[in-house]
Amino acid sequence: NAGVTQTPKFQVLKTGQSMTLQCAQDMNHNSMYWYRQDPGMGLRLIYYSASEGTTDKGEVPNGYNVSRLNKREFSLRLESAAPSQTSVYFCASSLITGGDTQYFGPGTRLTVL
């Protein structure tokens, strides 16, 4: 099993450009998450999907949109990138939301110039 995979690994954007980060899991998990990690601020939840067909805002959703394409895939879109969105983005999945182990992808390092 590949676990949780993310693409791309690295990306540089100019202010105002758009892009989509892709995430897939092969563990038959119901719940998927997008986090951003900034120095000294830990892991902050952007959006999550408790199950296929549902999405909910997390702590820092402004400037992002998500799509739960199917049970395996959960994408994160930046419509108009800003320098404040420079961060490392992690996708994660778990069998259920909340009281269950979350498995993280390898991360995407995004720089917005």
Residues that contact other proteins, how many (by CB under 8 A): 20
**Euclidean distance between CA atoms 60 and 12, whole angstroms:** 21
The minimum distance between CB 43 and other proteins, in angstroms, equals 4
For 57, 104, 110, the CA distances from 54, given in Å and listed in that order, are 11, 20, 26
Binding of residue 33 to other proteins (CB under 8 A): yes
Binding of residue 106 to other proteins (CB under 8 A): yes
Query: Mind giving me the DSSP string for 27-94?
Result: S--SEEEEEEE-TTS-EEEEEEESSTT--EE-S--TTEEEEE-SSSBEEEEESS--GGG-EEEEEEEE
Q: Which is nearer to other proteins, 53 or 99 (CB)?
A: 99
Binding of residue 9 to other proteins (CB under 8 A): no
Binding of residue 102 to other proteins (CB under 8 A): yes
Q: Judged by CB under 8 A, which of 25, 105, 108, 112 binds other proteins?
A: 105
Binding of residue 21 to other proteins (CB under 8 A): no
Q: Judged by CB under 8 A, which of 36, 46, 48, 110 binds other proteins?
A: 48
Binding of residue 98 to other proteins (CB under 8 A): yes
With contact defined as beta carbons under 8 Å apart, do 55 and 47 qualify? yes
